[in-house]
Amino acid sequence: MCAGLARWLGIDPVIVRVAFVVLGLSGGFGAVLYGALWVGMPDDNGRSVAAKMGTGSARDRSQRVLAIVLLSLGTLLLLRETGLWIGDKFIWPLVLAAGGLALVWPESTGLALRRGLGVHENRRALLRIGVGIVAVTVGIVVFGIANTEWHEIGDVGLAVGLTITGLLLIFGPWWLRLGRDLVEERRRRIRSEERAEVAARIHDSVLQTLALIQQKAGDATETARLARRQERELRDWLFGVAPATDGVTLKAAMSRAAAEVEDLFGVVVDVVTVGDAGLDERLEALVSAAKEAMVNAAKFSGAPTVSVYVEVTGGGVTAYVRDRGAGFIPETVPPDRQGIAESIRGRMQRHGGSANVRSTLGEGAEVELMMPGARAAPQSGEQAPSNA
Amino acid sequence: MPETRPKVFLVDDHQLFRSGVKAELGDAVELVGEADEVAAAVELVLERQPEVVLVDVHMPGGGGRAVIEEVLAKNGDVRFLALSVSDAPEDVIGVIRAGARGYVTKTITGPELVAAIERVRDGDAVFSPRLAGFVLDAFADPLSGDGPATGDADLDQLTARERDVLRYLARGYTYKEIAGQLSISVKTVETHASAVLRKLQLSNRHELSRWASDRRIV
């Protein structure tokens, strides 16, 4: 140490050593300075003793700890001799309590009660903690008893306060760490559960469908149908379009009808909905009629896509089912074809609605369904400016 | 060819999809470049000055929205057409409000996409049926609701004619077919569509911001 200081000061090490001996003999200030410099000064590698404290073998560590403790004690005794002293009964209990805390706090050495540590290490940690707690308790009690002036003023409150302070000091760090560990562990668990759910979902749906598509690679219609169905499912899951209320609202029922038609006939049915309404008997009839129109379009028009548009207004519900396929002349449809006559027009009329079929040869067809009524008014709030 | 081919730039983070779009577009457009991430896209678009940028809504680093906002802040002449697999309202509305002139889904056919690109190049708006449905939903007629309209009336409401045009768009009609149905010129249909787009971008109607989140719950 003296050599290091001498190099730093640029003088002969002998002079430094002599100076320290003189300082040490006269009042002891030199000894304190020596100790402080020894702990704090970096060695040739730039690392101080304090920094090296946490490294090295267990034996190295305990030797250094012992050195620091003795040095601290020496310093205290020295201060006591020189008169820089508040009083025995004040300082010694505090020193005892501080030493106990140093043993207890897990952050002080990184040694702590933790899962993953061996039984042996945990036993050592327990021993340390036991000794630490005793030291803190004794320190606080002695402090209370010895400082009589406090004792006189103090009543039960002081004792309770001291005890609580002691407990907080001892257990505070543990509680903090315990809380952190719990939060971290829960976060990890949630994350892994989510990952598992996504993996399961991808496997059940996407991977299965991809396997099916590979098997049926020669069948274009079937492949398109599988891809479309998978797209629909994945979209519902990702963007949450299919709520638990499936089939309860007009919108959900119409989407489901369209999905069934897609699956049956391998066409794409695009549904656009504006507004929504609770499903009653009349709207169920409208959905059924619309589905029949979709089926007709899928079966006869030859168009790959069917467009469905549903709008809920104050006056009722209107639905359009449109394709750009072959088209037909409505008047020439044979009366025995039940589709349009019965399943669409008849059904709508029975429930107080109407159906209108328009078509031009070569330009596709459109079926317009109209269900008037007050029942259509409730729109689940999303359309109306509720707090305007 | 009656018109010059539109100069197109393609932004999408999926190589497979970019190849698909290029194949679909073929010779109908002049592809001046492509990018797979936001920063490169902004830089290249500003450098190569395409007429129309096809931009994917979902990309890491802010998505299509970031590209649109950053480019438009430096060059207001570039026009954007958003492409997405997502039909989620917040995505669609978000990208339009950032400045895109249209939105189409990725399942669109080649000829339809070319037509949409030309329409955007000419400064008109492109509405997929679904986007038209969203707008009708967000601008629901206050008379049919249970409260009066608030705010800037001009921007916060659609005219009856605009509503008609949107309804036909939602039903899958082309601009030409709509013009025939309403006995107006195609140019007039385009004017109505552009007016709707402007309202969609500028309106402060609180439904527009609140609406998307509500939709996810319902």
Q: Which helix (H) or strand (E) holds A308?
A: strand A305-313
Take residue A74 and report the two structure tokens written for it. 């020496």
Name the phi and psi angles at A307, rounded to 5: -100, 130
Q: Is the pLDDT of residue B145 over 60?
A: no
Size of interface A-B (CB pairs under 8 A): 83
List all residues of chain B from 81 to 120 with a beta carbon under 8 Å from chain A.
85-88, 107
- Interface mutation target, options B57, B91, B136, B213, chain A, most CBs of A under 10 Å: B136
Q: What is the largest CA-CA distance in chain B?
A: 53
pLDDT at A319: 93
Picking from B87, B149, B172, the nearest residue to A388 by CB comes out as B149
Question: Which residue, among A17, A79, A28, A72, has the nearest Cα to A50 in the 3D structure?
Answer: A72
Q: Which helix (H) or strand (E) holds B55?
A: strand B52-56
Instruction: With beta carbons under 8 A apart, name residues in chain A contacting B130.
Output: 270, 272
pLDDT at B214: 55
Measured over the CA atoms of residue A151, residue A153, residue A158 and residue A162, the dihedral's sign is negative
Question: How do residues A283-330 score in pLDDT, each as one tens digit?
Answer: 888 998 999 899 888 888 888 889 999 998 878 899 999 988 887 777
Helices A208-215, A220-239: inter-axial angle, 10-degree rounding: 170
pLDDT at A113: 47
ipTM: 0.78
CB contact (8 A) between residue B133 and residue A272: yes
- Which of A63-67, A169-173, B41-45, B141-145 shows the lowest mean pLDDT across its residues? B141-145
pLDDT at A385: 39
Question: Which residue, among A50, A200, A385, A217, has the nearest Cα to B210 in the 3D structure?
Answer: A385
List all residues of chain B from 173 to 212 with a beta carbon under 8 Å from chain A.
206-207, 211
Nearest Cα of chain B lies from the Cα of A229 at a distance, in angstroms, of 14
**CATH superfamily, domain at B1-123:** Response regulator (3.40.50.2300)
Look at chain B and count its residues: 218
Picking from B107, B140, B147, the nearest residue to A275 by CB comes out as B140
Picking from B87, B88, B147, the nearest residue to A388 by CB comes out as B147
Q: How far apart are CA A388 and CA A238, in angstroms?
A: 32
Q: How far apart are CA A317 and CA A383, in angstroms?
A: 14
**Domain positions in chain A:** 2-188, 246-376
Question: Which residue, among B117, B124, B109, B127, has the nearest Cα to B28 in the 3D structure?
Answer: B117
Instruction: With beta carbons under 8 A apart, name residues in chain A contacting B146.
Output: 384, 386
What integer is the mean pLDDT of A35-42?
58
Picking from B87, B149, B170, the nearest residue to A385 by CB comes out as B149
**Domain positions in chain B:** 1-123, 125-218
> CATH fold of A246-376, please?
Heat Shock Protein 90 (3.30.565)
Question: How do residues A136-191 score in pLDDT, each as one tens digit?
Answer: 778 877 777 776 665 555 566 677 777 777 777 777 777 777 888 888 888 888 88
For chain A, say whether B170 makes contact (Cβ under 8 Å). Answer: yes
Torsion of CA B169, B174, B176, B177, to 10 degrees: -80
- Per CATH, domain B125-218 is 1.10.10.10: yes
- Which of A3-12, A30-39, B141-150 shows the lowest mean pLDDT across its residues? B141-150
Q: Considering only alpha carbons, which residue of chain B is nearest residue A320? A: B171
Q: Is the pLDDT of residue B148 over 70?
A: no
pLDDT at A26: 55
Q: How far apart are CA B47 and CA B45, in angstroms?
A: 5
pLDDT at A386: 36
Question: How do residues A235-290 score in pLDDT, each as one tens digit?
Answer: 777 766 544 444 478 888 898 889 888 888 888 888 998 888 888 888 888 998 99
DSSP assignment string, A244-271: TTTTTBHHHHHHHHHHHHHHHH--EEEE
Q: How far apart are CA B81 and CA B33, in angstroms?
A: 15
- Which of A312-321, B63-72, B154-163 shows the lowest mean pLDDT across its residues? B154-163
